[in-house]
């Protein structure tokens, strides 16, 4: 398995634009997580899915953020409209129930 695949690796966009981050989890994993890495808070859990169903989105900072998982092999995190303070590295991770999570390489988002 190629592991968790995220795209794009880097994204630079202008303030106000819509940004969509993509994730392909490891086949067979039933949990998917979106994290945001910041200097102050480390890895913040934004939202997680279990069997494609959003379970806890309490970490999503604002209504500008939304996430979907239309099937077991794909998830998106969308920011609309984007703001400079959204600049960070966004990680997707997947796991099999009560086991350690496997992370993708992350998407570095810069909003100018």
Partner 1 sequence: DQQVKQNSPSLSVQEGRISILNCDYTNSMFDYFLWYKKYPAEGPTFLISISSIKDKNEDGRFTVFLNKSAKHLSLHIVPSQPGDSAVYFCAALGRGVGGFKTIFGAGTRLFVKA
Taking the complex as a whole, how short is the minimal distance between the CB of residue 50 and partner 1, in angstroms? 3
Q: Cα–Cα distance between 25 and 40 in angstroms, integer? A: 27
Pick 43 or 72: Cβ nearer partner 1: 43
Pick 67 or 93: Cβ nearer partner 1: 93
Pick 50 or 66: Cβ nearer partner 1: 50
Strand pairing class (107-111; 10-13)? parallel
Taking the complex as a whole, how short is the minimal distance between the CB of residue 81 and partner 1, in angstroms? 27
Cα–Cα distances in angstroms (integers) from residue 14 to residues 11, 18, 85, in the given order: 10, 9, 12
Interacting residues with partner 1 (CB under 8 A)? 4, 31, 33, 35, 40-45, 48, 50, 53, 55-56, 91, 93, 95, 97-98, 100-106
Cis peptide before 102 (omega within 30 of 0): no
3-state secondary structure of 111: strand
Q: Cα–Cα distance between 110 and 68 in angstroms, integer? A: 22
Taking the complex as a whole, how short is the minimal distance between the CB of residue 12 and partner 1, in angstroms? 16
Pick 82 or 104: Cβ nearer partner 1: 104
């Amino acid at each position: 398995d190629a592991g968790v695949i995220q795209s794009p690796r880097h994204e630079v966009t202008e303030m106000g634009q819509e940004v969509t981050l993509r994730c392909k989890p490891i086949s067979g994993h039933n949990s998917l997580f979106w994290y945001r890495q910041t200097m102050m808070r480390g890895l913040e859990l934004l939202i997680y899915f279990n069997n494609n169903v959003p379970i806890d989105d309490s970490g999503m900072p604002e209504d500008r953020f939304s996430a979907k998982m239309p099937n077991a092999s794909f998830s998106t995190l969308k920011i609309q409209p984007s703001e400079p303070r959204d600049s960070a590295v966004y990680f997707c991770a997947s796991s099999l129930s009560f086991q350690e999570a496997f992370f993708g390489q992350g998407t570095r988002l810069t909003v100018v």
